[in-house]
Amino acid sequence: MSPLSRVLLLLLAVAPLAACNPPVPRMERVVVAWPSGEGAAVTVPMQRASGRWLVSIGLRRPDGSERQALAWLNMGAPAPILSEGLYRELGLAEGRDLAMRIGPVGVTVGGRSVIDGPGRIGDQDLFGLLFAPRSVEAVLPAGVLRHFVVTVDPRAEALTLARPGTPRPRGVPVPVRIDSASGIAVADARVGGQAVSLVLDVGAPYTWLRGSTVATWLARRPDWRRAEGAVGRANLAMADLGLEPAGTVIRLPRLDLPGLSFPDVGALGTGPVGGRLGAVALGEIFWDRWQAGIGEPVAGWLGNNVLDGVRLTLDYPAGQSFWERQRATGPGDLDGVGLTLVRRSAGYAVAAVATREGRPLVPGVEAGDRLVRIDGHPLDGLAPEAALAALSARPGERRVLELDRAGASVKVTAEGARF
């Protein structure tokens, strides 16, 4: 295959990973219906999956009946996305609108704004890649949430939707900018004395940043570098692309928002899609595509390694957020065996072995090995969070890895590392 052909394939491959984010159709019509007798707010339960939050929503079929679906709460996505099967079951392929229910609140979205399918990477669609064996069929995006005052409470595992103009929420106020087209919220932060714009997204398990931004910081502060290769929750996509295997894990001594400070914040500076060839031909295509619907340049997103520690309220109509601390976050959130994984059908393979100062952190393991068992427990069929949990370990704690290398069985004893 020619270098140009490889680049074109990479361009097609990265599109699904960015598909749950811009560029997408503009949200042309959203109608919210509060049932009579309801108060100013409703609260529905959330459940955790792969470091992300899911909520159950009701969806109206063409015959008027309702069916339930799990939706990914994604503040970094502008428009609803449905699985291909659900899109057709609800009649959107015939031009119908999307009618959903979040708790008792009805929401109707113009059908032309709804995306048909999350896209595929290899033989898996994005919902399956991120969530299987759970069946997740939809994205509940910023383009819908922006019509409410939204509170995400990790401790209570609850999502609250309130009418605009409700009393001021509790917590430290932090101004945000809401893009008029996408509804995505951007906050101004400071890292190492430098201003940086970040999307607030409880749909992301970990903070990801542009590789070019991180490279600039590391030129001045090389001590921030922790490893080459995504590990733990930073390995959030497990997609067969260069973003994670060629990424850089860093530890920010402090990240400041107006009135707030977060110490020891981990982040992944993403690698180039397709390595050096992809970087030359495509630049930071993932970020450029993702940023296109935000309305301004951003350095990345602030994910749940930070947001899990706060009760976050986004008053979209007022352009304000409110932060109430619930627990402290620590520097050990990535501690474990230094492997970057990629999902392959129902199992997991090693995309890269993390390195530090050029030395592999897990000697004896090679990129391309299929990870079969950890401490005797099989990985096939496990959800991503369970596979990552099996690799978690305190520094020096050992894990026994059983691998398949081109049909040959390999056993490696690996030690956890601090990231």
CATH number at residue 348: 2.30.42.10
Q: Is 64 helix (H, G, I), strand (E, B) or coil?
A: coil
Judge whether residue 211 has pLDDT over 50. yes
**Residue 285: which pLDDT band, with cuts at 50, 70 and 90?**
confident
**Distance between CA atoms of 343 and 359, rounded to whole angstroms?**
25
**Boundary-marking domain end, from 162, 191, 222:** 162
Q: Which domain holds residue 373?
A: 339-415
Judge whether residue 412 has pLDDT over 60. yes
Residues 180 and 321 both lie in one domain: yes
pLDDT of residue 404: 98
CB-count burial class (<10 Å; 0-12, 13-18, 19+) for 36: exposed
**Residue 36: which pLDDT band, with cuts at 50, 70 and 90?**
confident
Whether residue 331 is contained in a domain is answered as: no
pLDDT of residue 276: 62
pLDDT digits 0-9 by tens, 45-93: 999 999 999 999 999 999 999 999 999 999 999 999 999 999 999 999 9
Find the mean pLDDT for residues 298-311: 97
Residues 35 and 138 both lie in one domain: yes
Average pLDDT score over the chain: 91
Residues 15 and 151 both lie in one domain: yes
Residues 48 and 106 both lie in one domain: yes
Find the mean pLDDT for residues 137-160: 97
pLDDT of residue 277: 57
**Distance between CA atoms of 137 and 81, rounded to whole angstroms?**
8
Residues 12 and 158 both lie in one domain: yes
Judge whether residue 168 has pLDDT over 90. no
**Residue 283: which pLDDT band, with cuts at 50, 70 and 90?**
low
Structural domain count, the chain = 3
Q: Locate tokens 């072995």: which residue?
A: 353
Residues 270 and 344 both lie in one domain: no
pLDDT of residue 11: 43
Residues 147 and 229 both lie in one domain: no
pLDDT digits 0-9 by tens, 241-280: 899 999 999 999 999 999 999 999 999 999 998 666 555 5
Judge whether residue 123 has pLDDT over 60. yes
- Residues 6 or more apart whose CB falls under 8 angstroms from that of 74 comprise 20, 52, 139, 140, 141, 142, 201, 203
Residues 241 and 291 both lie in one domain: yes
